[in-house]
Structure 1
């Protein structure tokens, strides 16, 4: 299949951040064959030609932190800080969910991400979601066209979880089994990672331990898996959040990992909004990556992290959307804009973080954090053809002189017109090409969410929090 896309504003995100406007992209099979200015556009016979009509073509966006199960909790977290939300809402909702609920939530999340141009997502599940049937030929949602990095929780017995069935040997065996099953299928559409919770909150609650972190790191290293972990997030409070646990333990989450001797380039440190200068230096020296979820941090008043400083130290910084129960948005274009706005605000400088850097955080940096930048994350010959064509019809997009700024600051994810994954359309001009009816999936999810809220005793939180005008 030879597919030629013409008359586009091509945002390559290559090493030189080249922009071809107007430009073309030639796709052959699952790979990008050529890219360049229209003056060098090839001629000949093609199976398909698409006129971009001046629209943006960007690499498929990479969402490195997404709690897919939380789609069933939308609207019940209003007005709560992270810690009370976790205790009062999240844990109760998870306990009330069944296997089919997790699958339905994953489908909703996949559709929302594809609709807005995300083509790769690291899914950070609840532990219970690992009870999904993984004995089939392919992992759940493989039919939708989203490239999935399946997070696999690593858990062993701790003093609080004394009845857990796994010690380190059994947990390592289970991780290897699930990693193989979750990596099935052609075209590198399904990948695996592991989740190791190690922050002071989890340690203080007895859900993590030195033994868990050390053995989990070894198991992941033996399998060549990336490790994702929540660190240095939450409310900046002595009473219930980050500062409370730092005061009790006398160390930060980064210092803890470093003292255990496990921090290396396999770690994806999620949140990091309360990193200190010492934390940043350790992360830099150990080669770990950090993932920012800007709108999620903002909506729950967590904080604005030191991302300009981390980028300046050469740390790989990527983006994610976090949990849709906390922040409704799955739009990675919105995350790119938000990181620019929030960093400029933090530093009181209109040039603190550029749209160009934000675009890299949403694309190639995500690929680098996953260790797959050789075949994903930018528009370059030989890489997999994960591409998104965005409409460029509004004056705010057309009149801006810098095309990267016009895309990041004046576009929305819903401007996506064509979403290609491995060169095949997953979303095409309002239609999901997997042959599914989004309305039916949403209706099923709505019904399941109501049932979950009822079983969990949280149905009252599904009522509007803010005053409503009388009809």
Structure 2
């Protein structure tokens, strides 16, 4: 099957002329050709899609996401992170059912696909059984999205030789035509160490397992408030080290790490992150929603740190929209530095695509529009009432386009969103899914004591 995308503003590394109008050919599961508009042959293609008036990008890569958080939209209240974790997150996560996980996984996958996200890191906060993982990953196979499933490792796993993590890796990694990959969650932030849900042995052993399997690891790092009473600053003062220094001193900080949030880097943290090649997963709307502070992204980039983007999960900020993260990243940095162009527009796109692919060790395969790369592609309409007229495609995309403006989305060459409509599921199925998700959310909220009983 060969498909020609013709006439759009194509964002391809090293080929800025394609923004003036370019063509792209998908053959099978990969990108076969790129060229200026009208230069590629139509003789042997099976379908031509007119992308004039649209911007054509690599599929967006969400490097920090919690799929089941769809159930907590609006339940968090106006409280700081530490209180929100204790009063909202923990009561909900302790009462999740297998069916809850299955419905949430499908809804989150479709929501992200509808917004042009083709890959996400599903960072688990719960230990998961094989049955629970089947509930999470079955819908991934069904929807067609890619997922980098991050399996939790806990201190007690050291006594079993990480048997659970190994079982999950062997069972799921590479399944769904390669669209499911497995990495590990090694929580290393001071809060988790203080709670007894992290240990030095767990981190060093879990990291060695990740190196053996050549996969990624992810952790919440340097987040929360800077309170001396209950926040991150308290633990830094008590332990005498930052989260990043902790990983560095253990000798495990390397390019496998996705450091989620990293809102409050201190001391020599940025130098250590840059030298290690690890990636910060920046989630600006989530951090703003909890009043956690503004991550110093410009300073990170200036310091040579790789920064990718993520949504965190809609229990925090009510959105899975990666376009919001792109826009918020630039606007908050502009505000922080009091300058209107703190981060280059092209760099913002790279953060949401290529840098995310590098974070999950999929560079050379995902994150770019180039021959030989997987045909994970998102096409966004720039001719909407809220976006047009457009003089500068990248500026329009970053500042005016919304996730729902995605017209076409491909994963592995499969056309999963065609002119704004899903190809694997129909409208009735989505309507029924939303109803089921609403029922599950209400029941879970009641079990957790966050909603009144019937």
Distance in structure 1 (CA, Å) of the matches to 2:397 and 2:120: 21
Local SS of the residue matching 1:427: strand
Structure 2 match to 1:405:
395
1:103 aligns with 2:92: no
Q: 1:236–1:442: structure 2 CA closer, same or farther, 3 Å change rule?
A: same
Give 1:234 deviation, angstroms. Answer: 0.6
Structure 2 match to 1:170:
161
Give 1:256 deviation, angstroms. Answer: 0.6
Structure 2 match to 1:124:
123
Distance in structure 1 (CA, Å) of the matches to 2:273 and 2:345: 24
Distance in structure 1 (CA, Å) of the matches to 2:195 and 2:352: 33
| Contact 1:8–1:51 (Cα < 8 Å) also in 2 | yes
| Contact 1:154–1:194 (Cα < 8 Å) also in 2 | yes
Give 1:212 deviation, angstroms. Answer: 1.2
Structure 2 match to 1:365:
355
**1:457 counterpart (427, 443, 449):** 449
**1:441 counterpart (433, 445, 452):** 433
| Contact 2:307–2:355 (Cα < 8 Å) also in 1 | yes
Unpaired runs of at least 5, structure 1: 158-165, 464-471
Distance in structure 2 (CA, Å) of the matches to 1:18 and 1:267: 35
Give 1:19 deviation, angstroms. Answer: 3.5
Q: 1:135–1:99: structure 2 CA closer, same or farther, 3 Å change rule?
A: closer
1:207 aligns with 2:197: yes
CA deviations 1:332-390 (Å, max 9, x no partner) are 01110110001111111112112221111100110111121101101111111111111
Give 1:170 deviation, angstroms. Answer: 3.1
Structure 1 match to 2:375:
385
| Contact 1:236–1:243 (Cα < 8 Å) also in 2 | yes
Structure 1 match to 2:248:
258
| Contact 2:9–2:18 (Cα < 8 Å) also in 1 | yes
Structure 1 match to 2:85:
86
Give 1:434 deviation, angstroms. Answer: 1.6
CA deviations 1:230-272 (Å, max 9, x no partner) are 0001112112111111111111000111111111111111101
After TM superposition, the score normalised by the length of structure 1 is 0.92
| Contact 2:382–2:393 (Cα < 8 Å) also in 1 | no
| Contact 1:31–1:381 (Cα < 8 Å) also in 2 | yes
Structure 2 match to 1:52:
51
Give 1:420 deviation, angstroms. Answer: 0.6
Structure 1 match to 2:40:
41
Local SS of the residue matching 1:4: strand
| Contact 1:64–1:318 (Cα < 8 Å) also in 2 | yes
Local SS of the residue matching 2:343: coil
CA deviations 1:56-92 (Å, max 9, x no partner) are 1111000000011111111101202110110011111
1:300 aligns with 2:290: yes
Distance in structure 2 (CA, Å) of the matches to 1:283 and 1:291: 12
1:191 aligns with 2:190: no
Structure 2 match to 1:466:
none
Q: 1:400–1:428: structure 2 CA closer, same or farther, 3 Å change rule?
A: closer
Distance in structure 1 (CA, Å) of the matches to 2:252 and 2:222: 17
Structure 1 match to 2:9:
9
Structure 2 match to 1:468:
none
Distance in structure 2 (CA, Å) of the matches to 1:135 and 1:7: 41
1:335 aligns with 2:325: yes
Count of paired positions: 451
Unpaired runs of at least 5, structure 2: none
Local SS of the residue matching 2:26: strand
Q: 1:16–1:258: structure 2 CA closer, same or farther, 3 Å change rule?
A: farther
Larger displacement relative to structure 2 (223-232 or 120-129): 120-129
| Contact 1:232–1:272 (Cα < 8 Å) also in 2 | yes
Local SS of the residue matching 1:132: helix
Distance in structure 2 (CA, Å) of the matches to 1:193 and 1:290: 16
